[in-house]
Amino acid sequence: MLERGNTKQRDQLFDIIRSERSMTDTAMNRDPDAHILKACTTEEVNAYHVEATGASVTADSSVNLIHRYCEKLPGDKYFVPKPKFHISLIEGSYECKMTLPPNAAFQSIVGPSSRNSHLAKQLVCLEACKKLHQMGALDDHLLPSIKELPEKNLIVKSKESASGAGTTKRKELHGTTCIRALSGTWGEKVDGAIFQAYKFEFLCNIPGELYSGFVLLLETKLDDDVGNIELELYLVSKKVKSSVSFCGQVHLDAEQMTKAKCFQEFFFNGLFGRLFFGSKSAGTCREFLLKNETRSLWSPSNMYLLLPLETLNTSSPEPCQINWIGINSCISAVEIMKKRSLLGAEHCNGEKGNLSPYKNGSCSTNVIHFAYSMADTNNLKDMVVLAIHTGKIYSVVEVVNNTSAESPFDGNTDSASSKYMTFSEYFNKKYGITLMYPGQPLLRLKQSHNPHNLLVNFDEEGTTGKTLEAGVLVKKAQMHVHMPPELLIRLDVSRGVLRSFYLLPSVMHRLESLMLASQLREEICCSSNFHISSALILEALTTLRCSENFSMERLELLGDSVLKYAVGCHLFLKYPKKHEGQLTDIRVRVICNATLHKLGTDLKLQGYIRDSAFDPRRWVAPGQRSIRPVPCKCGVDTPEVPLDAKFHTEDPKVMIGSSCDKGHRWMSSKTIADCVEALIGAYYVGGGIIAALHLMKWLGIDAELDPSLVVEAITTASLRSYVPKDNEIATLESKLGYEFSVKGLLQEAITHASQQELGVGYCYQRLEYLGDSVLDLLITWHLYQCYTDIDPGLLLSQLTEYVKSISESHTDGSLQRPKGPKALGDMVESIAGAILLDTKLNLNEVWRIYKPLLSPIVTPDKLELHPFRKLNELCASRGYFIKEKFIKKGDMVHAELSLQLKDVLLIGEGYEGGKKIARGEAACRLLKELEKRGIVFSRSASKKRKLDADHIDSSTASYMEIDVCDQLTDENLSELAINKKRKSTKDQLPPESTSLSSPTNDCSNKDRSPDSGTPVIATINTKKGGPRTTLFELCKKVQWPMPTFNSTENKSRSPIEFGEGSEIRNGFNSFVSRISLHIPKFGSMECTGDARADKKSALDSAALVMLYELERQGKLVIGGS
């Protein structure tokens, strides 16, 4: 487009068109041989070329490259690394000497002579570029390689880890390592076998509650710290102290082994499984499990026996006497059941001709007829019996007088129903059994039940809804059954044996875990100079997901510090010419999660990790058939899963923890890296730094601390020529309370990088790098030892806050702690590094000197958390949401935090040089305003809210957290915030908007609401947890306070039907939840949900009712409605 009448623009356009046509014509009509290049007659001698990449640098560009290299070196606001040039005129030629910063690959170089000073400067830079490339400080592209990788096999003897390895987001499928100590070949021996015997003894804290002893028979002898342990078992209203001890060897002949196996098959299947399989309703023949060969129930990889012991007999010379009387009784019962299943007998009692006095309902004798035996009524209490028609095991509670098989059927048996008139009719129609003694009184029997996880003391976990729903804290009424005695086979075992059976899964689970830990210890092959207990290794292998009273968290924190120190110290000694930035980068690469993950998986560490809570219902003893199978659908035939990308996923729907029957389970990739750190921590606790270094060597981490390198570093420091002012060293030593053997180390520790202008060729940065890891380890170790019972998260907070107070006080946003120069914190760390070298790596001596200097060391009760964390936890405990906004204005950051209470919108502002500091300042002002309103931070409140989050649901608890926006942009961020506000409701304007004013006007006084406009949500997900999730997201979006729930439980003796269609459920308990939601400037709303079979479904029902009520009130638009 041209301006009309503008001849100048027109002529320019025509010139462009003519030029374009001329260029096109020339290109089309040129000589085809004209493209051949002629040899260049001018030779560029002042250049350096890299053959591998073709990169080159000339004398002219070398000056800029040297400046770029120096810019990448470590510096601060007091010191900017840059080269210095000194030009001399010698015999008519110029010669330039360049001095690089002390943390460069080399310090000085002299260039060739030149005809002028400018060219001399270029030539010395060109020579420096050559030397830097040859030394590896410049890569093959002639770019500063500050972030260089270690040489091959230098630190980590493995290839670089795959992308995403070691992260929480990535989930990986892994197998479970087989426990070698449980395997055995004795099952095939026909002439008997010798077993290693381990005695189980149980002592209840309630007098009179007796538990029978058991013996574990294994083919392999266990380590002493595995086979001799004590542990507490926590039942609903009592505790049982269990002890395991080695009691020598036991020989069983072939017949005894057969009987022992049969006993184990009978009891474990009868109590925790089923002795009958198949049913008419399923179209399969009902069959007795032990009727035929049972070899399929036993596996060589899981071969051991658990047998009851005789009551303690002090006169017996044997340490453990197996209760063969009880075992033989069970064998007889099994033989009876086999015969019945073969004959299909309708009658249960073998005494067909023997008529009972009870036949006509009279009660003239104390004899009770059981199946194939009789007993006195006075000896029935606590008798253990087997029901011949179901294969279930019971214990007798009492004889129910004035009842008989002709009594009205109340449905209170093993199968509730209302279509039978009498007990006789029920057993005849359902099982085809005709009772021979219908006049006998019925027996009230205590049913067997599922085993429970008795390793966790739920009384200390708090009475949350989660534990209540798990049925652990709620003591339910015991369910008894009434049954004619002639349907029962007497078992000559005590009720104490029955009681002990329910303890065995938990005891064996702990033993199996210790066996696995001991097996890993054997793989690591410890030195005889130190002993790491199996319990400590087990702690390092156990994640929080296991819900044990121990986990790897504390050891992981310690191991991280040990690893950081060991690798850092090794690099410091091995590379005396590398500066702090290079050492830090190499260390980061060595100790990063991706590297640790690769090291762990190479050694198959993932198979040892325990990452799911013990489920005793899926625990299976040898000889037991699982009634809760989880067939493998993982696509892997072997127990071990290949390290292949197809077994990696980031799908949030994939559940972590639970395993299939082959032991395959999904695991967070980061868990493996955490376990590596925890193991390092465990070895440090058990054997000090020597044991930790031994483990690192096994892992493939080269962190050896060579004494000769320590001597070399000390010798180098002793040759320092620079002498500071008089008495500086002596004064500082006096304050430290330590006299250096090598004064040069202290000189280096207090020399700032800017001192190179005075000709000093060293500074404190390398020692600061070393001292940082030393103090980190010493403080972590101190906190680990002193506070054994505190939460690992709190331990980490203590460490973070305290280390921050030492080295980063200049960046703290608390507005309370005095700010100091960064160099001061750096010097504290560098002196620690100097003392470490001077004492030849004596950590105890460094701690002796530094402990008084660092006192008072923070304690859990005096821990001062960061203001934003305080605000975060306070709002989480109250159900409030925070919104953040950051605006960068030049070098300053404006942070604005808005917090909606029930009646007011609080806005806190902060202006600082960094985002975190500005946010901390704004949080401080919000905390002060909340304190004026009586809302004060309390750790107990924060902990209670955490429990409440678990109470609601793990899938929705995340929506109770604070909304954090971490993106820092320029002025247009405020526009984004305004646009977001248009998505919310007008009716949510608060009655007032309070500004947290200050003399510097740090808080705005704007009358505004969190949002404006009616919020719109998608169609509500009605699956479990869906309505709550939708409601919590809504509250988070518009900054309404979190709703509160109040649930009521109603119990019924008759079944209650819940739901409709395919969702119909029956139960004896119903839950109804009432929800309350406060909307600013509108008021509170309360709704009640429908009755549901469980508490979480009741919460969902109440949330759903609230969502529809909000829509009716015009506060919400639901998509699709």
Q: How far apart are the first and last CA of the chain?
A: 54
Q: Alpha-carbon distance 65 to 130, whole Å?
A: 11
Cα Rg of the chain, angstroms: 39
**713, 573 Cβ separation under 8 angstroms:** yes
- CA–CA dist 95, 107 (Å, integer): 17
Please give the Cα distance from 833 to 777 (Å, whole number).
12
Put residue 166 in one of left, alpha, beta given phi > 0 → left and psi -120 to 50 → alpha: left
Q: Is 1051 helix (H, G, I), strand (E, B) or coil?
A: strand
Which amino acid would we find at residue 324? W
Q: Do 190 and 254 form a contact (C-beta atoms < 8 A)?
A: yes
Element (H, E) at 292: none
Instruction: Provide CB contacts within 8 A for 520, sequence distance 6+.
Output: 537, 541, 605, 608
Closest residue by Cα to residue 516 from 540, 497, 496: 540
One DSSP character per residue, 917-969 reads: HHHHHHHHHHHHHHHHTT----HHHHHHHHHHHHHH-TTTGGGGS-------B
Residue 1094, SS3 per DSSP: coil
Give the SS3 label for residue 694.
Answer: helix
- Residue 687: count of CB within 10 angstroms of its CB: 20
The arrangement of strands across the sheet holding 665-668 comes to: 648-649, 171-174, 665-668
Helix (H, G, I), strand (E, B) or coil at 1077: strand
The catalytic residue among 172, 580, 768, 772 is 772
Identify the residue whose tokens are 């003239």: 364
d(CA 1011, CA 1009): 5
Asked if residue 834 lies in contact with residue 748, where contact means CB atoms within 8 angstroms, the answer is yes
Known active-site residue 674:
no
User: Alpha-carbon distance 169 to 675, whole Å?
Assistant: 17
Burial of 815 (0-12, 13-18, 19+ CB in 10 A): middle
Identify the burial level of 237 via C-beta atoms within 10 angstroms of its C-beta, where 0-12 means exposed, 13-18 middle and 19 or more buried: exposed
Nearest to 1104 by CA among 1030, 1017, 1040: 1030
Clarify whether 772 is annotated catalytic.
Answer: yes
Among 172, 486, 829, 921, the active-site one is 829
Distance, in Å, from the CA atom of 704 to the CA atom of 633, rounded to the nearest integer, reads 45
Catalytic residues: 772, 829
